[in-house]
Amino acid sequence: MKPSSRTNNPHDAFFREAFSRAEVARSFISEYLPTALLRQADFRTLVIAKDSYVDEELSQHFSDILYRVNLSGKPSFIYLLFEHKSFVDRMIAFQLLRNMVKIWEGHLKQEPRLKTLPVIVPIVVYHGRAKWDVPNNLLGLFDEVAGTRQYIPDFSGEIFDISHIPDESIKGAVLIRALLLLMKYVKNPSLLDAIPGIFQLINDLGNKTRATEYIELFLRYLMSTIETDKKEVFTKEIVKTLKEGGTIMPTIAESYIQEGIERGFEKGIEKGIERGFEKGIEKGIEKGIEKGIEKGIEKGIENGKVDDAEKMIALGMSTGDIRKITGLSRSQIEGLRKKRKQPLR
C-alpha cells in the first residue's frame, strides 16, 4: 500500500489538535519517555514551538508537533511525530533524520551564533493494524560492510505501537488514556464496544467545560472516520452513552441534541399529520427525533470547529494548520481572523 498524500487525513488532524495541547503532551511524555530523560526534564518549561521546520514533501505523510523543554537546565527539543498510516514503514528512521535536520537548520537560522545543537528526542506514535516490527534506529537500515561503521550516523527513535498493547497498559491521566484508547480502537472492529468506556474516562475529568471540549474533539474525529453506512448505528450509541454516562455526560448530551430534537418533533408531527391520524403522528415523531438527534450532533460538531478555530487563532497558529485540524475553509478562517482583527497568515 502506498502512503497517502492527503494532508487533511482525519487521523493526522486529530493527533495534531490533541497533542497541540500542553496538558496532553505533558501527560504523554511523563508516562512514556525513558526514566533517565524524565529525571532531567523540567515540565514547567514545556511549550509548543511555533514552527515545525518540516518541508512540504514530508508534511504530506506526517503530523509533526515540536515541543521545547529544558533538560538539565539547558533548552532542548522534544519532538513528537505521529505516523498515521495503516502500514509499517521500514524507512521511518531515515524520515525522522530528515525532519531532525530540518529542525536543526531552522534553529541555526534563528540563532546563527550557537556553537552546539539542541537535543531532539524523536517519538513516533503508531496505531496501524500490523504490529510494528522494523528497526527504530538508523544503523539498522545499512548493510554491514567492514571498515564503514565510522561513516554511518546513528540514533534511535521512541516507537509507541498503541494498537498492540493491552488496554490496562495504556497509562497516564484519564485524558491521555482516553485519547490513546480512541486512537487504538478507531480502526478496530470493536470500536462500538469501546466507545462507552472511552467517553466515561472523559466524564471522570469532573470538569464540564473541559469534558465538553474533548467530547467535541472526539465526536469530530469519529464522524470523520466512521464509514457512512455505519454512522446511524454509531450515532445512536454515542447519544445513548452521553445520556447515561454519569454526572457530566447527560448535560453535554442535552446541549448537543436539544435543538435537533425540537426540530425533529416539528418535522415528525408535520409528517405524521400528512399521513393521517395517531399512527402517522407516532411514526413521524419517532423518525423526527432520530433525525433531530443526528442533526443536533452535527450542529454541535460544526459549532465546535468554529470555537476551536478561534482558540487556535488566539494561539497564533497558521491558517494552513487550522484548516488541517478543523476542516474549515480558508474563507471561514479568514473571516474569524477579521472578526478578531488579527492579520492573515
**Which of 274, 192, 200, 266 lies closest to 235, judged by CA?**
192
The confidence score (pLDDT) of residue 184 equals: 93
Cell of residue 281, nine digits: 403522528
Contacts 24+ apart (CB under 8 A), 19-24: 19/65, 19/80, 19/82, 20/48, 20/65, 20/317, 20/325, 22/46, 22/47, 22/48, 23/175, 24/175, 24/176, 24/179
- Is residue 109 over pLDDT 50? yes
Nearest CA to 165 among 147, 150, 185? 185
C-alpha gyration radius of the chain: 23
Q: 206 burial class (0-12, 13-18, 19+ CB within 10 angstroms)?
A: exposed
Angle (CA) 231-232-233 rounded to 5° is: 90
Give the closest residue to 243 by CA, choosing from 296, 304, 180, 315.
Answer: 296
Please, are residues 91 and 135 in contact by the beta-carbon 8 Å criterion? no
List of residues 6+ apart from 306 with CB closer than 8 A: 328, 332, 336
Q: Are residues 168 and 181 in contact, defined by beta-carbon separation less than 8 angstroms?
A: no
- Mean pLDDT for 280-297 is 54
Query: Greatest CA separation found in the chain?
Result: 91
> Does 3 have pLDDT greater than 50?
no
pLDDT reported for residue 42: 85
% of the chain beyond a pLDDT of 90: 14
> Of all helices (H) and strands (E), which one includes residue 157?
none
pLDDT, residue 7, reads: 44
The DSSP call for residue 142 is S
Average the pLDDT over 105-128 and give the result.
87
CB-based burial, 250-264: b 16+ in 10 Å, e otherwise? eebbeebbeebbebb
* Overall residue count recorded for the chain in this entry: 345
Q: Quick one: pLDDT at residue 259?
A: 47
If one compares 195 and 65, the residue with the highest pLDDT of the two is: 195
**Which range among 54-58, 128-132, 203-207, 218-222 shows the weakest confidence by mean pLDDT?**
54-58
Encode burial over 184-196: b for 16+ CB neighbours within 10 A, e otherwise: bbbeeeebeebbe
| Residue 41 backbone dihedrals phi, psi, to 5 degrees | -85, 135
Query: In whole numbers, what is the pLDDT of the chain averaged over residues?
Result: 76
Mean local confidence (pLDDT), 305-314: 77
> Cβ distance 239 to 297 under 8 Å?
yes
